[in-house]
Copies of this chain bind each other. A is one copy, B any other.
C-alpha cells in the first residue's frame, strides 16, 4: 500500500521532522497555522494546504506536532480540523507531548469516523529532530504501529511500541518524571560538593563510573559545571510536561511527591524569567534558594 503523508505543525520540532520525511523521498502535504512556517517545506517540495481538514483529505497518514493538549484538540477536533477530512482507514499520528487521557478521548472520536490514532511523543529535542535520532514512544494498535514504523525510522532511532492508545504519552510522562528528578538530584550533589569545598567536576567523574552513573549526570552534570544552559530542552516545555504529569497523577489518584517537588524548581525558574534556558538550569534555582551565599 502506498501511503500519502500529511504533516501539521512545523515549529522547532515539526519542521526538521517533516523535512527529514521529504528528504527521504516521501511526497508530503503540510499545514501550519503561521503560513511563513510552511515556506522551508514548500521549498523542499512539499504541498501546502489551507487547513488541517484539507491535509487529512489528501493523506492516509497524518502527523501532528504542536505544543500542548488544547493545540492538538484544536487541530484534530476543531473547526476545519483533521476529523472533518479524515479518510476511513487513515492513521492520525500525534507526536506532541500531551495528556494521556485527552489522547484516549481523541482516539475514541477518530475511531467513530473510521480512523485510527497513534500517540508517538518523542525525546531528543530539536537536535535529535534534525539528526533523525529521536526516541519515539508509541501507543496504539500493533497494525497501525507497523504501518507507520518506516516513517518513524526516518525521524528517530529508539522506537518502542509501548502499548495501546495513550501508552506513548504515559511513557513520555514517565520519562519527564525521571529526567527532571535526576537533574535535581545531580544538582543537589553539586551543591553538597561545592559547599564542602570539594571539586564538583571530580565528584561527577568519580560517580559516572559507578552506580550513580546516568546520561543526566553526564550531560546535565557538565552543563551545571560549565553554567552552560543553552537548550537542549527548554525549561518552559519541561514545565508544561510536568503539568501534564501532575494532572495525570491527580486524575489517577496517585501521589508523586518527588515529581511535585522538582516541578516547583522548574516553576520558579520559569517565573524568574529563565524559561528559555535548558531545564538543567533548575540548578540555578537550587543555588539561589538552597546553596551557600
Residues of A within 8 A of B (CB): 100, 123-124, 135, 137, 158, 160, 162-163, 166-167, 170-171, 173-175, 177-179, 181-182, 184-186, 188-193, 195-199, 202-203, 205-207, 209-217, 219, 245, 248-249, 252-259, 261-262, 289-292
Residues in B neighbouring A259, C-beta threshold 8 A: 185, 188
Residues in B neighbouring A290, C-beta threshold 8 A: 254-257
Q: Contact partner of A258 among B188, B193, B213, CB < 8 A? A: B188
Residues in B neighbouring A205, C-beta threshold 8 A: 160
Tell me if B171 and A178 are in contact (CB < 8 A). Answer: no
Copies in the assembly, this chain: 2
Separation of A26 and B21 alpha carbons in the complex (Å): 64
CB distance from A72 to the nearest CB of B (A): 18
Separation of A245 and B195 alpha carbons in the complex (Å): 12
Tell me if B252 and A199 are in contact (CB < 8 A). Answer: no
Q: Contact partner of A198 among B135, B167, B195, CB < 8 A? A: B167
CB distance from A153 to the nearest CB of B (A): 14
Residues in B neighbouring A206, C-beta threshold 8 A: 135, 137, 158, 160, 162, 171, 175
CB distance from A212 to the nearest CB of B (A): 4
Tell me if B261 and A192 are in contact (CB < 8 A). Answer: no
Assess A175 versus B211: contact at CB under 8 Å? Given A182-B185, A199-B162. yes
Closest B residue to A217 by beta carbon equals B178
Beyond A196-B252, A257-B290, 19 additional contacts (C-beta under 8 Å) are: A124-B210, A135-B211, A158-B206, A167-B196, A170-B192, A170-B198, A171-B202, A171-B207, A174-B212, A178-B182, A178-B189, A178-B207, A179-B211, A179-B212, A181-B182, A191-B254, A192-B245, A213-B214, A258-B261
Residues in B neighbouring A196, C-beta threshold 8 A: 100, 166-167, 170, 248, 252
Separation of A166 and B181 alpha carbons in the complex (Å): 27
